[in-house]
A = this chain, B = another copy of it.
Amino acid sequence: MPPSPSAQSTSPFKREDVRVQKLDYIRRAASDLFNKKGFDATSLDEVAEKIGISKPSIYYYYKNKSELLLGCYIRTLDLCDDLLAETHQIEGSALDKICHFTRQLIFLNCAQGAIAVVSEIDALPSEAIGPLRARSRDLTKRLKRLIADGVADGSLRPDLSDVTTLFIMGAVNWTPRWYREDGPMTPTAIADAYISFLVQGVAAEADQSPGR
């Protein structure tokens, strides 16, 4: 649907497609660097160099650095929303769903540039902060609900604290900091190890509450 009233429009799609691809290309490079070095520590010259274009080209696609970060974060939240929706389709207990979600999120974090860890919200354009926080909160709320479901269906321990999600997300969000494609661990191995840890803990036997 090209509502543009202007002239020549024999190939109405390709142009837009290329544009979207380029937007994506830049966003991925930026996400990867933002994850690894942080937003402020990453210069747009670096982003440009990583993909072999010049800095002004970035400005042709994004209004400024903050908008680029916003693009990264929106994409991340979109993917998380999708993932959570997909998760609800899973047959099985709430625990199974949590495991699925966690595993896929680890994969996303390891696929460099797929998503950016949403952690530097203050660097966003000020009018975007509120809505983004709202989306983040909503996501957190749905994760907490998933945990409550698990307690209800008996697949999770009944005494789980609300901070459980924070711990899980913390560990997952930390992966981009150390994961390297050429490192010794595959994403699958990482996910396996993490989920096994998540489900069973580290102790050899189930019950042996340690003192302080």
Residues of A with Cβ closer than 8 Å to B?
Answer: 37-41, 92, 95-96, 98-100, 103, 119-120, 122-123, 150, 154-161, 163-164, 166-175, 177-178, 185, 189-190, 192-212
Extra A-B contacts (17), CB below 8 Å, given A157-B202, A200-B201:
A37-B120, A38-B40, A38-B120, A41-B120, A92-B211, A95-B204, A96-B210, A150-B202, A157-B203, A161-B192, A163-B185, A163-B194, A164-B193, A164-B197, A166-B175, A170-B173, A201-B201
| Residues in B whose Cβ lies below 8 Å from that of A95 | 202-204, 208, 210
A100, closest chain B residue (CB): B212
Q: Is the CB of A155 within 8 A of B41?
A: no
A171 to B102, CA, bound (A): 14
A175, closest chain B residue (CB): B170
A120 to B37, CA, bound (A): 7
| Residues in B whose Cβ lies below 8 Å from that of A103 | 212
| Residues in B whose Cβ lies below 8 Å from that of A158 | 204
Q: Is the CB of B171 within 8 A of A204?
A: no
A126 to B171, CA, bound (A): 29
25 CB contacts below 8 A, A to B, read A37-B122, A39-B41, A41-B120, A92-B210, A95-B210, A96-B211, A156-B203, A156-B204, A157-B200, A160-B202, A161-B192, A161-B197, A163-B185, A163-B193, A164-B197, A164-B202, A167-B194, A170-B175, A173-B174, A195-B210, A198-B202, A199-B201, A199-B208, A200-B203, A205-B206
| Residues in B whose Cβ lies below 8 Å from that of A189 | 161, 163
CB distance from A123 to the nearest CB of B (A): 7
| Residues in B whose Cβ lies below 8 Å from that of A201 | 197-201
Q: Which of B174, B204, B209 contacts A154 (CB 8 A)?
A: B204
| Residues in B whose Cβ lies below 8 Å from that of A190 | 163
| Residues in B whose Cβ lies below 8 Å from that of A156 | 202-204
